[in-house]
């Protein structure tokens, strides 16, 4: 399967999804492992294929606002968010609409759902051709690095999942997830849409979810996105380490990747998972990570790094 111009590939993938199968597909953030969100067995296949915890809910991907409104109830503020930032890397947690038809496996039994309209022609074409919302977490084994190329998906699942190849993802980190409470926007997960961009667009402060809040959205598990190597954050590399640098980097003889020599956070976000994949592939036991500014997209990058470095049970 290849590109948007290959209508047969899209049709074949959509038929597989309608019959309960899985298909990996590109979005502007990362590659997603897609299944029909209304089919419980299909969604369970995502959990089984990823080894994903049962209580971590899945984002439902839609092709347009009409499809979204059949699934969930939009408050005026939530609708304004969707109209401003969709299609794009923003997932909005909303109350389920009666008769929504989504599998409770997809929502992890919650009375809410995170919805997103991806900004990628292949993803939108696939959702339209399938005619159903698609549950689509990142297309990687649970807890491992999120894929930003089709080749990473193929390698991660040992070729067992068909992939629509749309080239490298542009954003490189997952979507930002927000909830709306009255006139308050609450960020549940930092992501490819910077919190300050939402604040500037709406002229209000975006609140942060409290530490230890119940899992109501993907990406809220503490240890997540973990490579095989251990990681030290805000670190200077030592002999034997691999080094993930940012900006001006010290001379280091070991394996090194620089997220952005120009200290550009957009470039760093785009490179994050690919470069972690590359360093992990060197066999290093430890990856030292340079400090990343905790502002703008740096918030999402540091969120991923902290989860990758978290102790593993």
Task: Give 163-181 pLDDT, tens digit per residue.
Answer: 999 999 999 899 999 999 8
Count of domains for the chain: 2
223 within a domain of the structure (yes/no): no
The contacts of residue 159 (CB under 8 Å, 6+ apart) are none
Residue 62 reports pLDDT greater than 80 = yes
Buried b (16+ CB within 10 A) or exposed e, 47-57: bebbebeeebb
Q: Is residue 169 part of a domain?
A: yes
- Which backbone phi and psi does 116 adopt, to 5 degrees? -150, 145
Looking at the structure, do residues 59 and 161 belong to the same domain, yes or no?
yes
In this structure, the strands spanning 112-116 and 90-95 are antiparallel
Residue 6: predicted pLDDT: 84
Q: Is residue 266 part of a domain?
A: yes
* Residue 171 domain boundaries: 7-208
CA distances from 67 to 60, 62, 78, 131, 244 (A): 11, 6, 15, 9, 41
21 and 138 in a single domain? The answer is yes
Average pLDDT estimate for 102-118: 90
* Structural domain ending residue among the three candidates 149, 178, 208: 208
Would the pLDDT of 5 be above 50? no
Say whether pLDDT at 48 is over 50: yes
Q: What is the pLDDT of residue 72?
A: 97
Same domain, 145 and 65: yes
55 and 204 both lie in a single domain: yes
48/164 same-domain check: yes
- Domain membership of residue 225 (yes or no) is no
């Amino acid at each position: 399967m290849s590109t948007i111009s290959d209508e047969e590939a899209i049709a074949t993938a959509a038929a597989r999804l309608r019959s309960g199968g899985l298909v990996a597909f590109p979005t502007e953030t990362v590659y997603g492992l897609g299944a029909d969100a209304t089919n419980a067995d299909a969604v369970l296949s995502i959990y089984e294929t990823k080894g994903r915890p049962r209580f971590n809910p899945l984002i439902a991907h839609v092709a347009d606002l009409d499809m979204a409104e059949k699934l969930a109830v939009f408050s005026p503020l939530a609708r304004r968010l969707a109209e401003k930032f969709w299609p794009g890397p923003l997932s909005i947690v909303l109350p389920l609409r009666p008769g929504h038809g989504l599998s409770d496996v997809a929502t992890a039994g919650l009375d809410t759902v995170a919805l997103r309209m991806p900004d990628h022609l292949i993803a939108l074409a696939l959702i339209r051709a399938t005619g159903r919302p698609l549950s689509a977490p990142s297309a990687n084994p649970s807890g491992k690095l999120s894929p930003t190329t089709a080749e990473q998906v193929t390698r991660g699942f040992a070729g067992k999942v068909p992939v629509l190849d749309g080239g490298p993802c542009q954003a490189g980190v997952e979507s930002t997830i927000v909830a709306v409470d009255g006139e308050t926007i609450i960020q549940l997960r930092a992501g490819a849409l910077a919190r300050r961009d939402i604040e500037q667009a709406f002229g209000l402060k975006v609140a942060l979810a409290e530490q230890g809040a119940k899992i109501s959205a993907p990406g809220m598990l503490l240890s997540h996105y973990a490579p095989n190597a251990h990681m030290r954050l805000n670190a200077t590399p030592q002999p034997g380490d691999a080094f993930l640098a940012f900006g001006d980097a010290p001379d280091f003889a070991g394996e090194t990747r620089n997220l952005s020599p120009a200290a550009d956070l957009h470039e760093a976000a785009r490179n994050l998972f690919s470069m972690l994949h590359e360093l992990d592939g060197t066999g290093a036991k430890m990856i030292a990570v340079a400090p990343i500014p905790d502002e703008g997209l740096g918030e999402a990058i540091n969120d991923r790094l902290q989860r990758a470095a978290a102790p593993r049970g």
